[in-house]
């Protein structure tokens, strides 16, 4: 099954639905690096509720406290590819995880792809139903589930549809939930000729999310499609704008929310050599993946830090410890505090091509250098189709149409 959507990198980031052709585009690069080779990390596997191939369990992942949330948009929960989301909770001994709930929407139906993106914040889980058929009207939505501490259940409390009058691409192309704020993008016209995407910002008021802002691209659709990816932390928001099929660099826009509730465009970061513009925010630190950075080897990750005046300064350019041709380093990025996780390809069996996808782990040292410290690897090209990072813990999905989906938790050094 090839679902072939255009996906994005929000707080929950995923690449499992990429068609083979897109992977080939992502892998047109060479690699170099000068950092110290890492150790391999230990993994524990979450108890997948279904071992059927093609459920795409692991397409999306999100971590929060003792919760691990994993989407399976290809699962036949109430019809073919209707989708479901599985919620795991860490045991008191911190060594094991148990399945706490399996979520489906009240309007569950076939070809719903519920679970394409997931995010979690406190007692709330946000899930997208994202059916990526371009230039067609779809029933895409974001569902909000809330935990009831009295009976220990997760209940759907809201369904958020594309606001009336917005016809600028598929809704829920990318999504991020942080605190009581939800930001959702539309895809725009991916041919880059007609209309751009937008970001809808929702705030939780009296238990329900209501729209409080809509961010539009400062550029025309012929320059870059706004809304390809999104991430947020506190009052800061970053939005990726992609050139999609055109072989040109993308752009990242950064915004700040003022106390009045108005969003101000602070930065425009150009030259992002990536098809999907993966981004990740942690405090005043922004990571941008560039898997197609051919001039610099097999890909790279740029780290920028925000100054007090709102400007973003490039502080580090990161590449893998061991260089491999066509490594696609930077396909996904997650940053959390002083740790960075980057998805790329590895070379196996002394072959002249890359057949294995892995997670590179970096730590920020006391002398302010990012050093590669670990590699997370299960020896499979379906591995690291999604990833989330929380402090010293990483949640990594393994999803594909030819494998039974899996999700792994890794304790990082």
The tens digit of pLDDT for each residue in 65-74 reads 999 999 999 9
Residue 4, pLDDT > 50, answer no
The tens digit of pLDDT for each residue in 235-266 reads 999 999 998 767 788 999 999 999 999 999 99
Determine, yes or no, domain membership for 35: yes
Strand partners of residue 204 = 209
Residue 29 structural domain? 13-411
Question: Residue 159 belongs to a domain with what CATH number?
Answer: 2.130.10.130
Tokens of 258: 């003022």
pLDDT for res 172: 94
HEC assignment per residue over 213-240: EEEECCCCCCCCEEEEEEEEECCEEEEE
Strand partners of residue 314 = 304
Tokens of 346: 């590895």
Determine, yes or no, domain membership for 229: yes
Residue 23's H or E segment, with its range, is: helix 20-26
pLDDT for res 402: 84
The tens digit of pLDDT for each residue in 150-184 reads 999 999 999 999 988 777 888 999 999 999 999 99
pLDDT for res 11: 45
Determine, yes or no, domain membership for 387: yes
Domains: count for the chain: 1
Residue 324, pLDDT > 90, answer no
Residue 64, pLDDT > 80, answer yes
Does this model's pTM top 0.85? yes
pLDDT for res 352: 54
The tens digit of pLDDT for each residue in 335-385 reads 999 999 999 987 654 455 557 899 999 999 999 999 999 999 988 889 999
Determine, yes or no, domain membership for 253: yes
Determine, yes or no, domain membership for 8: no
Pairing of strands 141-148, 208-216: unpaired
The tens digit of pLDDT for each residue in 98-112 reads 999 999 999 998 888
């Amino acid at each position: 099954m090839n679902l072939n959507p255009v996906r994005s990198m929000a707080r929950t980031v995923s690449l499992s639905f990429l068609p083979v052709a897109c992977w080939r585009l992502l892998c047109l690069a060479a690699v170099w690096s000068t950092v110290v080779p890492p150790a391999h990390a230990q993994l524990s596997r979450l108890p997948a509720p279904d071992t059927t191939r093609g459920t795409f369990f692991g397409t999306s992942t999100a971590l929060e406290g003792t919760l691990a949330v994993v989407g399976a948009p290809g699962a036949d929960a109430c019809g073919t590819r209707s989708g479901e989301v599985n919620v795991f909770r860490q045991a008191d001994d911190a060594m094991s995880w148990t399945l706490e709930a399996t979520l489906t929407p009240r309007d569950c139906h076939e070809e719903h792809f519920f679970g394409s993106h997931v995010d979690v914040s406190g007692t709330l889980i946000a899930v997208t139903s994202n059916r990526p058929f371009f230039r067609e009207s779809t029933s895409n939505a974001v569902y909000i589930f809330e935990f009831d501490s009295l009976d220990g259940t997760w209940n759907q409390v809201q369904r958020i549809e594309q606001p009336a009058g917005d016809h600028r691409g598929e809704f829920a192309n990318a999504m991020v939930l942080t605190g009581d704020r939800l930001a959702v993008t539309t895809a725009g016209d991916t041919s880059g000729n007609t209309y751009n995407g937008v970001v809808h910002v929702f705030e939780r008021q009296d238990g329900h999310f209501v729209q409080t802002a809509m961010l539009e691209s400062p550029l025309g659709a012929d320059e870059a499609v706004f809304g390809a990816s999104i991430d947020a932390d506190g009052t800061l928001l970053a939005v990726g704008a992609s050139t999609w099929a055109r072989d040109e660099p993308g752009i990242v826009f950064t915004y700040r929310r003022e106390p009045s509730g108005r969003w101000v465009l602070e930065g425009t970061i150009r030259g992002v050599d990536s098809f999907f513009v993966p981004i990740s925010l942690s405090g005043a630190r922004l990571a941008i993946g560039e898997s197609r950075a051919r001039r610099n080897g097999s890909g790279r990750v740029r780290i920028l830090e925000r100054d007090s005046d709102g400007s973003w300064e490039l502080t580090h350019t990161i590449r893998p410890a061991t260089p491999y041709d066509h490594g696609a380093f930077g396909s996904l990025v997650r940053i959390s505090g002083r740790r960075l996780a980057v998805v790329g390809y590895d070379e196996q069996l002394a072959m002249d091509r890359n057949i294995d996808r892995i997670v590179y782990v970096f730590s920020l040292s006391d002398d302010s250098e990012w050093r590669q410290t670990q590699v997370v690897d299960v020896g499979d090209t379906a591995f690291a189709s999604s990833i989330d990072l929380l402090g010293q813990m990483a949640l990594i999905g393994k999803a594909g149409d030819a494998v039974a989906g899996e999700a792994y938790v890794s304790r990082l050094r």
